[in-house]
């Protein structure tokens, strides 16, 4: 993965000094609350229910063992001994003290990490597919360009104070796993007819209050122009995006208001001036950065391992884990492993300091010292030998990291919600826990099969509920907490936004509601169908009918 | 004491202001609200100056003045003499359109100064306006930021082509000056140095 040179190191070191002074001025009363807010936000610091919350950047999800150990130590020293992996591949600490945050940043800088642009109205941490570089369906490894974009967007002077936050995702696979359509800009890398690297550029996607999937603004962009084309898009947005109303300030609203054709016209006109300007990416720079992402020194291995096959055949628990948590790899004899941060009954995405050390050790011993965070809030060891899988499983299991539920109903994506977040309408973590306990039977869970369930505590949609096959949204009704349910959302190439099934439910009703949705699916599914396929085939009505049947009966009973 | 910072050949100093800023006379403004909140930002291109205000703006006979863009456009005859003598600059607010300036002046470099008013710290349009003035319109003279100008914007303003900064009156310019040096080797090319780090340095191969 990318290693800092002196220039990179100097920038994070200077950032620590700058931030330390900002905190000093704030505590001394030289900066008002309003003036400090945008400054601390650009450093990933929110002020939340209980304490500040610090969001640490994990650029495009890549971490080294050394970095994860440091994160574990920081969580222990400055927080309550755990951290939370977010849907944007970052790590959040929920309880640091404001006065400690400059020291935390200084410690992060020693392992080439920072919290730059993890919040605030600027270009945020760039995200990608967690199987980048190793997925069999990958056409282009976009990490080198993602790193070049990370550098370019870091303290970009023209885009330091945009109308609203700005999220960029990159992807280079046949099957999109980075949700490029749900980002302000999505960069989809492919090989064009001349076998050159090109980008399909999506713009104007985003979830939140007004969920909108992006539109293609340019089918074919040569990779050299990735930065200048983004500059053209963001300049039009910076000048014309709405600043009068925070709910209408994302680029998606501008694109909708102008229409994609007019927006494209303005961007292309701007780009005429920017094309070939010095920020055009040089071949040599791509080559320099790409060296950091060269394939690992893999051994030449057979595609099969008889010991592994024997273990799978004889050990059902291991076999269940292999089925869900082990993924194909470009290289023969290797697999990627997802360590589940979704044990049943615990907050999704949470990980203790001890577990961070275990994962760091596993990565060091079995996966070239690197790992990744996924937007589904799990951790990935990308390069494990088939013959090592059993040992990895045993160690992960001992640390509570081997729940065989990846891609299943209990692999819930969930925001911090009302337990931590001051914007929340309702709690989300207890709902996730209750649903996980309702479906605690693994055989049943495997029988239900692939299913994505997403929970957000309010319409800001941090839990991506709009694109969950089942989406749960916390709503406020007369000061109490309720949950609205959508079905039929999906991420990927055929992304869609879910439809609301009807009036909201109380927290106690939620596990039962999910159970009923599953019952309808089990009843109606054909052999090959996943939950989402059944919803798409039969529509929302049968689900709605079954879920609300009792309620309607109760009403009729009362009327009679 | 003056609160004006000027950049000359990379050295920043607090200097006396030789320019007088001409303000529009106050106008009746209604408070705009959205979802119960007061609207803090004007939309780009929104007309915010009345004929009345333009007419009633007092233009002094003597001295160097920076006049509001709408006054500059509407009363250009009156200002022609002073402009020729190099005593007229123009200011505009972040929601005003640069094209309104550039299409109403034969040579933008006949203005010794252009100033941009940023009403709120968080309004980053000012950075694009500076960048465009320097790069697209080749403006070479003094480019000043004024209004809610505080230490933590200065680095970005400098990189976006500004070379003078009138710090908000209740803050110390002496303290703010340090903000110009927040980072020594930025990654991306901008107005102050168009070359990105990978073109400025040999970062190895
Ligand atoms: C607890 C502190 C948090 C606060 C105050 C917060 C606030 C917000 C707000 C206000 C938005 C909507 C922005 C907009 O649409 O313009 C948003 C969106 C989002 N948040 Fe959070 N958030 C928090 C935590 C998280 C966490 C922990 C995650 C990851 C698990 C997360 C992931 C996201 C994502 C992915 C979106 C984007 C939705 C979109 O594309 O519009 N947030 N957040
Ligand atoms: S979705 Fe709402 S409740 Fe959940 S973290 Fe985001 S802002 Fe907070």
| Closest by CA position to A58, among listed A8, A127, A1 | A127
Say if ligand 1 is within 6 A of residue A424 CB: no
Measured at the alpha carbon of residue A335, what is the angle toward residues A329 and A340, in degrees to the nearest 5?
A: 115
pLDDT classification of A554: cutoffs 50, 70, 90: low
Query: Nearest ligand, CA of residue A424?
Result: 2
Asked whether A111 and A91 are in contact (CB, 8 A), the reply is no
A126 — pLDDT class (breaks 50, 70, 90): very high
Q: What is the mean pLDDT of residues A161-167?
A: 95
Contact B41 A22 (CB under 8 A): no
> Smallest Cβ distance to B187: which of A154, A278, A288?
A154
Q: What domains can you pick out in chain B, each with its CATH number?
A: 60-205 (3.20.20.70)
List chain B residues with CB under 8 Å of A145: none
Partner residue opposite B204 with nearest CB, options A5, A14, A15? A5
pLDDT, tens only, A465-515:
999 999 999 999 888 899 999 999 998 888 899 999 999 999 999 999 999
In sequence order, the 6+-apart residues with CB closer than 8 A to the CB of A359 are: A68, A339, A351, A371, A379, A381, A399, A401
pLDDT of residue B37: 76
**Residue A501 and residue A298: Cα distance in Å, rounded?**
49
The ligand placed nearest to the CA atom of residue A472 is 2
Q: Find all residues with CB under 8 Å of A438, minimum gap 6, and list them.
A: A511, A512, A514, A515
Instruction: Kindly give the distance from the C-alpha atom of residue A461 to the centroid of ligand 1, in angstroms, as a whole number.
Output: 6
A125 sits in the region (left: phi over 0; alpha: psi -120 to 50; else beta) called: beta
Tell me: pLDDT of A559 over 70: no
As a whole number of Å, the end-to-end CA separation of chain B is 51
**ipTM at complex level:** 0.96
Answer whether A288 sits within 8 Å of B205, measured CB to CB: yes
Order of strands, edge to edge, in the sheet holding A185-191? A168-171, A185-191, A197-203, A215-222
Interface test with B, best of A239, A240, A257, A280 (most B CBs within 10 A): A239
C-alpha distances in angstroms, A431 versus A438, A479, A497, B94? 11, 18, 21, 46
Mean pLDDT computed over A437-449: 93
Highest mean pLDDT among A73-87, B21-35, B132-146: B132-146
Rounded Cα distance, B186 and B188, in Å: 6
Task: Show Cβ contacts of residue A157 under 8 Å, excluding neighbours closer than 6 positions.
Answer: B127, B155, B156, B157, B158, B159, B160, B186, B188, B190
Is the fold of A6-109 the same as that of A306-398?
yes
Ligand 1 mutation pick, A166, A342, A415, max ligand atoms within 8 A of CB: A415
Report the top-level CATH class of A306-398.
alpha beta
User: CA–CA separation, A44 vs A104, rounded Å?
Assistant: 12
- Per-residue exposure over B127-159, b if at least 16 CB sit within 10 Å of its own CB, e if not: bbbbbbbbbebebeebbbbbbbbbbbbbbbbbb
Whether A469 contacts A496, CB under 8 Å: no
| Whole-number Å distance between alpha carbons of A262 and A327 | 43
Predicted confidence (pLDDT) at residue A15 exceeds the cutoff of 70: yes
Average pLDDT on B173-189 reads 93
Strand, helix or coil for residue B14: strand
CATH number of this structure's domain A413-559: 3.30.413.10
CA atoms within 13 A on the CB side of A348: 33
Residue A559 CA to residue A45 CA, distance in Å, equals 53
Do the chains contact at B123 and A161, CB–CB below 8 Å? Answer: yes
Task: Output the ligand 2 site: residues, CB below 6 A.
Answer: A 415-417, 421, 423-424, 456-458, 460-463
Q: Which residue has the higher pLDDT, B107 or B205?
A: B107
Is A557 a residue whose pLDDT tops 80? no
Could you tell me which residue, A494 or A162, shows the higher pLDDT? A162
User: Is the Cβ–Cβ distance between A518 and A409 less than 8 Å?
Assistant: yes
H or E stretch including A336?
A: strand A334-339
CB of A438 within 6 A of ligand 1: the answer is no
Query: pLDDT digits over B35-79, tens only?
Result: 777 777 888 988 889 999 999 999 998 999 999 999 999 999 999
Mean pLDDT of chain A: 93
**If DSSP codes are grouped into helix, strand and coil, which group holds residue B114?**
strand
Task: Return the CATH architecture of domain A134-291.
Answer: 2-Layer Sandwich (3.30)
pLDDT reported for residue B205: 64
For residue B101, the SS3 value is helix
| CB atoms A244 and B39 under 8 Å | yes
A40 pLDDT tier (thresholds 50, 70, 90): confident
Q: What percent of chain A has pLDDT over 90?
A: 82
Supply the pLDDT for residue A550.
77
Query: Which class is A6-109 in CATH?
Result: alpha beta
Name every chain A residue with its beta carbon within 8 A of the beta carbon of B185: 7, 10-11
Closest approach of A235 to chain B, Cα-based (Å): 7
For residue B187, which of A281, A11, A121 has the smallest C-alpha distance?
A: A11
Torsion of CA A298, A302, A306, A308, to 10 degrees: 30
Angle at A59 between CA A2 and CA A299, to 5 degrees: 45
The model's pLDDT over A305-338, given as tens digits with 9 standing for 90+, comes to: 999 999 999 999 999 999 999 999 999 999 999 9
Closest Cα to atom 39 of ligand 1: A207
Tell me which of B35, B121, B128 to substitute to probe the interface with A (most A C-beta atoms closer than 10 Å). Answer: B128
CA distances from B192 to B141, B142, B163, B189, B200 (A): 14, 14, 10, 8, 13
Residue A152 pLDDT exceeds 80: yes
For residue A560, the model assigns a pLDDT of: 46
Give residues with Cβ within 8 angstroms of A401, minimum separation 6: A339, A340, A341, A343, A355, A358, A359, A379
Q: Give the torsion through C-alpha atoms of A437, A439, A442, A447, to 10 deg.
A: -170
Q: Pick from B42, B124, B187: which is nearest to A160 by CB?
A: B124
Return the SS3 of A216.
strand
Domain boundaries, chain A: 6-109, 134-291, 306-398, 413-559
Measured CA to CA, the distance from residue B72 to residue B74 in angstroms comes to 6
């Amino acid at each position: 993965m990318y290693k800092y040179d002196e220039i990179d190191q100097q920038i994070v070191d200077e950032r620590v000094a700058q931030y330390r002074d900002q905190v000093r001025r704030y505590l001394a009363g030289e900066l008002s609350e309003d003036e400090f807010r945008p400054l601390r936000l650009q450093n990933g610091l929110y002020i939340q229910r209980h304490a500040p919350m610090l969001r640490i950047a994990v650029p495009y999800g890549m971490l080294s063992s050394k970095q994860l150990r440091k994160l574990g130590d920081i969580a222990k020293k400055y927080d309550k001994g755990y951290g939370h992996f977010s849907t944007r591949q970052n790590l959040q600490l929920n309880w640091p003290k404001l006065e400690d945050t400059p020291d935390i940043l200084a410690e992060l800088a020693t392992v080439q990490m920072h919290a730059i642009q993890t919040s605030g109205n600027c270009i945020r941490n760039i995200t990608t597919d967690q199987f980048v570089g190793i997925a069999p369906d990958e056409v282009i490894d976009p990490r080198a360009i993602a790193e070049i974009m990370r550098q370019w967007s870091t303290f970009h002077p023209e885009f330091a104070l945009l109308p609203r936050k700005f999220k960029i995702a990159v992807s280079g696979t046949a099957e999109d796993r980075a949700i490029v359509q749900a980002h302000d800009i999505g960069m989809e890398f492919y090989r064009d007819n001349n076998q050159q690297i090109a980008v399909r550029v999506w713009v104007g996607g985003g979830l939140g209050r007004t969920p909108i999937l992006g539109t293609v603004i340019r089918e074919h962009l040569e990779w050299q122009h990735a930065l200048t084309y983004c500059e053209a898009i963001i300049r039009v947005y910076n000048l014309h995006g709405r600043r009068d109303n925070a709910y209408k300030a994302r680029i998606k609203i501008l694109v909708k208001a102008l229409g994609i054709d007019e927006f494209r016209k303005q961007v292309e006109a701007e780009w005429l001036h920017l094309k070939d300007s010095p920020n055009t990416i040089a071949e040599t720079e791509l080559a320099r950065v790409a060296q950091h992402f060269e394939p690992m020194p893999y051994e030449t291995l057979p595609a099969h391992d008889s010991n592994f096959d024997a273990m799978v055949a004889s050990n059902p628990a291991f076999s269940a884990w292999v089925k869900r948590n082990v993924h194909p790899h470009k290289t023969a004899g290797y697999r990627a492993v997802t360590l589940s941060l979704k044990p049943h009954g615990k907050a999704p995405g949470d990980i203790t300091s001890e577990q961070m050390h275990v994962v760091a050790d596993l990565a060091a011993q079995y996966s070239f010292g690197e790992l990744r965070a996924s937007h589904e809030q799990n951790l990935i060891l990308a390069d494990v030998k088939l013959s090592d899988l059993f040992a990895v499983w045993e160690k992960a299991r001992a640390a509570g990291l081997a729940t065989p539920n990846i891609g299943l109903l209990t692999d819930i994506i969930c925001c911090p919600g009302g337990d931590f977040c001051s914007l929340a309408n309702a709690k989300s973590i207890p709902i996730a826990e209750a649903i996980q306990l309702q479906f605690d039977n693994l055989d049943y869970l495997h029988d239900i099969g692939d299913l994505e369930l997403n929970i957000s505590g309010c319409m800001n949609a941090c839990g991506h509920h709009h694109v969950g096959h089942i989406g749960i949204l916390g709503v406020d009704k007369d000061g109490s907490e309720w949950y609205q349910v959508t079905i039929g959302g999906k991420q990927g190439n055929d992304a869609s936004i879910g439809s609301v099934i009807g009036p909201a439910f109380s927290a106690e009703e939620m596990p039962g509601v999910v159970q009923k949705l599953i019952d309808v699916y089990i009843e109606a599914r054909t052999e090959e169908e996943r939950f989402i396929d059944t919803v798409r085939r039969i529509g929302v009505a049968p689900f709605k009918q079954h879920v609300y049947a009792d309620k309607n009966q109760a009403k009729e009973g009362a009327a009679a | 004491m003056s609160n004006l910072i000027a950049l000359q050949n990379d050295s920043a100093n607090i200097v006396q202001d030789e320019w007088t800023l001409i303000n529009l006379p106050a106008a009746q403004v209604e408070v705009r609200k959205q979802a119960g909140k007061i609207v803090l930002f004007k939309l780009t291109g929104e007309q915010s100056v009345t004929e009345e205000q333009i007419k009633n703006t007092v233009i002094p006979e003597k001295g160097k003045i920076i006049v509001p863009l709408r006054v500059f456009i509407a009363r250009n005859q009156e200002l022609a003499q002073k402009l020729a003598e190099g005593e007229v600059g123009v200011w505009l607010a972040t929601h005003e359109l640069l094209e309104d300036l550039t299409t109403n002046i034969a040579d933008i470099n006949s203005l010794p100064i252009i100033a941009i008013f940023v009403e709120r710290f968080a309004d980053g349009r000012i950075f694009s306006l500076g960048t465009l003035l320097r790069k697209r319109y080749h403006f070479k003279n003094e480019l000043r930021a004024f209004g809610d100008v505080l230490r933590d914007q200065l680095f970005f303003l400098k990189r976006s082509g500004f070379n003078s900064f009138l710090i908000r009156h209740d803050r110390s310019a002496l303290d703010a000056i340090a903000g110009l040096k927040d980072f020594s080797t930025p990654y991306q090319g901008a107005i102050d140095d168009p070359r990105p780090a990978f073109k400025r340095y040999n970062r190895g191969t």
